[in-house]
Amino acid sequence: MWQKIKNNEIIMYLIFGVLTTVVNIVSFQVFLFLHCPIMVSNVIAWILSVLFAFVTNAKYVFQKTYTSKREQIKEFASFTSSRIVTLVLEMIILEIGLWFLPSATLLVKIIAQVLVIILNYLLSKFIVFNKKSRE
């Protein structure tokens, strides 16, 4: 059964997407608890979750092997660039969501994360880890 799950890209992305979201939300909450501003907490949480997501997506989801450090760095740059796009989207959602629901920080963060996860998968699948674009 594990082999079947392991070979299903979408299921693996969902598993590691949930774990990445946990890294993001827990670190976001920790930095809020430490009295960091919301947007600062969000950026720190983003950095930690992007690092976690790159490693897990490359290794377990898209089963990427690198022939050189240069190739890995290039792909990390592409991955990070795509994640910057979704970070901006998330910050816009947070700003607008908190304007409408100022006392629902966690709820707005979770809503933003759902949209970001979907867009991140599409960007990773079709741009960052796209085997055809690398050939």
| Interval 110-133: pLDDT, tens | 999 899 989 988 998 888 887 665
Domain presence at residue 13: yes
Q: Alpha-carbon distance 114 to 54, whole Å?
A: 18
Domain presence at residue 86: yes
Domain presence at residue 56: yes
Domain presence at residue 89: yes
pLDDT at residue 95 is higher than 60: yes
Domain presence at residue 88: yes
Domain presence at residue 69: yes
Number of domain units in the chain: 1
Q: Alpha-carbon distance 89 to 77, whole Å?
A: 19
pLDDT at residue 2 is higher than 80: no
Contact 90, 60 (CB under 8 A): no
**Residues 97, 100, 102, 105, CA torsion sign:** negative
Q: What angle do CA 119, 2, 11 make, to 5 degrees?
A: 15
Domain presence at residue 12: yes
Q: What angle do CA 50, 20, 62 make, to 5 degrees?
A: 75
- In the block, residue with structure tokens 């901006």: 88
Domain presence at residue 135: no
Q: Alpha-carbon distance 41 to 34, whole Å?
A: 9
The overall longest dimension of the chain from CA atoms, in Å, is: 49
pLDDT of residue 119: 93
The domain in which residue 80 lies consists of 2-130
Contact 105, 32 (CB under 8 A): yes
Q: Alpha-carbon distance 67 to 86, whole Å?
A: 28
pLDDT digits (tens, 9 = 90+) for 38-93: 999 999 999 999 999 999 999 988 888 888 999 999 999 999 999 999 999 999 99
